Every structure is written in C-alpha cells, then in structure tokens.
Amino acid sequence: MKIGIVGLGYVGLPLAVTFAEAECDIIGVDIDQARVTSLREGHSHVEDIPHERLAGALGRCRFTTRFVELHETDAILVCVPTPLTRNREPDLGPLLGAAQALAGVIRRGQTIILESTTFPGTTRQHMVPLLEESGLRAGEDFALAFSPERVDPGRTDYTLRNTPKVVGGYTPACLEAAVAVYAPVCDEIVRVSTPEVAELSKLLENIFRSVNIALVNEMAILADRMGIDIWEVVDAAATKPYGFMRFEPGPGMGGHCLPVDPFYLTWKAREYDISTEFIELAGKVNQQMPYFCLERAIRALNDVGKSVKGARILIVGVSYKAGVGDMRESPALKILKLLRGRGADVAYHDPHVPELVDLGLRSAELPAGADGVDLAIIVTAHPTVDHRAIAESAQLTLDLRGVTRGLDARVLQL
C-alpha cells in the first residue's frame, strides 16, 4: 500500500514511520518547508520517534510540500492541527486548507481518512463539500472516514499497534475501505456507524480526562484549606476495586488536547442550544490551578519568614507532562511568569527543554542549580530527574506532583 500523510507533527510523523515499518510506501506532505527538509535529512522533531527510528524508515518515506504527489497513493490520512482562534472558537483553517489542496489532487479509488480531533459533523459537513470540488463523489468515487488519533506522547506500553482504533465511515463501504488501510498497523479496529460517532467519541475521551482532573484539583484546593493530605485521600479512594478511577492533582492542564479540544464541542453545542457546563467548569478549575500553586509557593516562603520578591526559585520540569519536552499550553510557564511578576528570581531545570527562548532562560545544571535555592517547585516530574536530591539541596521544596512524599519537613506537597 502507498499511504499519504498530510501534516507531519506529533500525530502524522509517528503514523508515517509506523506504516513505513509495516512495509507501506509513504508520501508525507507538510506545508512547513523547514520541517520537510529536516525530516528528509533524518532529523525527527517528535521525541517518540528517535532519529535512528526515522532513519530506519526513510527508505520508504518521501517527505514533500507538494500535495500533487498524493495523487498516486492508495489512502490519505489527514493529521493537520485543529487549534482555537483568539476567541476560543474552532479554527478549521488548516483542515479546510488541506481539504482544498486535496481536492486538486485526489483520484478515483482512494481512501481519505481524517484523524485530527474535531467536533461532530466536520467530516460530513466541511470535508465532503471541499473534497467534492474535485468532481469526484464521496462514498462513490472515493472512500471517506474519520478515525481519531489516540496517541499519548511519551507512552510506550500503548502504541498504534495495540490501542484499539475507532473508525467511522461515510458509508458502510467507506468504513471497510478505512479498516483495510489500518489492518497492517492496528491489531484491533472498532467499527462505529458514522463519522460523527467517531468524532464525538474522541472528544468524550478528552473531556472525561479534563473533567476528572478538574474534580481532583478542586478537591486538592479544598483539602488544602481543610488541612487534609489530598494524596493520602486519593491513595485511599483508589483502593476501591470498582467504580473509581485514579486521577491526581497537579498544576493544571497542558498539551494540545485537553485545554483545546473540549472547546470544539462547546462551540458546536451552541448550535443545538446546549451549553456544555462540565467542559466550561473543568476548564475554569484547571485554569485556576497555576494561581493556586502561586499562592501555595508564597505561603510556603512566608511560613519560613521569606517573601517571594527576591526569592531564588527553581522550577523543576517545565514541559506539560513527564517524560516529554512538549511545551504546548504548559502550566509551568504560567507559574514561572506569575512568580517573575511578583519579583522572584526564577530559574528552571528540565532535561527535555534546554532553553526557554522567550523568557531568556536556559535549563540550569544540577546539582548546582538547586543548591541553596529558597524554593524548588516540582511542576513536572520527569522520571530521569532525582527529585530527592533536589529536595535535599534546596532550602524548601513545593512538590506539585507527589513524588517526594514523606521525605522531610522541608518538603511540602500540593
């Protein structure tokens, strides 16, 4: 099979490499010339795809900015970004741009699958009219389906191969065509009746996480006020063998998916006179967490007779999640800026993020960077960082991730 991938980011590049490893030939298209050039040279910008793995797949991959090369493929997977506008409304620009470009190059017999996360109705109402500008009919001349990407950056136990793949076809025949595309790389395919079911199922997954993270964060704020250890509460509740799923408190939500995708549904729901209260509330609680963390830091310093102004503070872990360097929507940035705004002298350490160009900071070397700082704040707990050593070097540590629990009195938990 010859597979086309449109959008070579966190989603598209791993797909390209995985299909190449399954002996498919790949045409990878991206509008970013610099990205295409560096991929051709074997440089991966996605941590989950090490350079060596990309190098191993290069023989089967052709990376290009030219959509026309997709004409010869059997299937085209669309993995372009779905961001929000400044007004926090869906920005379908990249998606519509890709669909328009595809209309000029697709041919009879191809299967086109949208993987980008989006609101229900995108495939049918937005993709179909643009793709049919080609003169070809969806469901007759070419197959069309939606199949949400479920990648969890940094995760190695669940991959494209062993994570069930949800697929919804524009017609039953489109569904079967899409299933055949994924068969070489996915062990289990979950057929659903329409693209809309598949589109909404992805949003439900993301919203489920966002709401549950907000719930435990709100509980953490309350537990703090009540003088109860939230981590002990979560540990205790998680012993229930059924009806409870463990979520942990933290500094707020980051990444592309959770802070952004739920608002695609909020926007769409308005068309149906529904206001999605859970999504809004979860967003509100999670957005407040960096401010709560700031208050905890100020209180921690105050309790030892110090003010935040002029305090030497080390932020440990600035990416949005452990084990990866992805900075998108990272709450650590917010906390760092808030502390700076209060006059603190802030440095950071993150093995995955060598510098924060906009803030004029480079990752501090350890152990020197933690030595004698007034406060170390563990915002993201990367597995390769020795948090205990940091807690021993710093005068005080505020741990927002519960990785230094029970250490000593100079270590405070969220």
Ligand X SMILES: NC(=O)c1ccc[n+]([C@@H]2O[C@H](COP(=O)([O-])OP(=O)(O)OC[C@H]3O[C@@H](n4cnc5c(N)ncnc54)[C@H](O)[C@@H]3O)[C@@H](O)[C@H]2O)c1
Q: What residues make contact with ligand X under the rule CB under 6 A?
A: 6-12, 29-32, 35, 79-82, 94, 97-98, 116-117, 149, 151, 153, 256-257, 261
Residue whose CB is less far from ligand X, 122 or 393: 122
DSSP 108-121: TT-EEEE-S---TT
Number of neighbouring beta carbons within 10 Å of residue 105: 19
Strand order in the sheet with 61-64: 61-64, 25-29, 2-6, 75-78, 111-114, 143-146, 165-169, 189-192
Residue whose CB is less far from ligand X, 64 or 287: 64
Instruction: Give which of 97, 96, 106, 116 is closest to 138, Cα–Cα.
Output: 106
The answer to whether 330 touches 293, Cβ cutoff 8 Å, is: no
DSSP state of 192: E
Instruction: Give which of 247, 242, 243, 235 is closest to 208, Cα–Cα.
Output: 247
Residue whose CB is less far from ligand X, 79 or 400: 79
Residue whose CB is less far from ligand X, 74 or 205: 205
The minimum distance between CB 256 and ligand X, in angstroms, equals 5
The minimum distance between CB 299 and ligand X, in angstroms, equals 34
Is 257 among the catalytic positions?
yes
The minimum distance between CB 209 and ligand X, in angstroms, equals 12
The minimum distance between CB 277 and ligand X, in angstroms, equals 23
DSSP 120-140: TTIIIIIIHHHHGGGS--BTT
Residue whose CB is less far from ligand X, 151 or 311: 151
The minimum distance between CB 29 and ligand X, in angstroms, equals 6
Instruction: Give which of 48, 22, 24, 26 is closest to 36, Cα–Cα.
Output: 26
The answer to whether 279 touches 210, Cβ cutoff 8 Å, is: yes
Written as one letter, the residue type at 88 is R
Residue whose CB is less far from ligand X, 118 or 397: 118
The minimum distance between CB 335 and ligand X, in angstroms, equals 22
Residue written as token pair 């797909």: 15
The minimum distance between CB 108 and ligand X, in angstroms, equals 22
Given 24, 174, 257, 293, the catalytic residue = 257
What's the first-to-final CA gap in the chain, in angstroms?
Answer: 51
Residue whose CB is less far from ligand X, 252 or 259: 259
Residue closest to ligand X (Cβ): 9
The answer to whether 256 touches 262, Cβ cutoff 8 Å, is: no
Task: Measure Cα distances from 343 to 27, 84, 298, 302, 313 in Å.
Answer: 51, 32, 12, 14, 11
Q: Tell me the catalytic residues.
A: 257
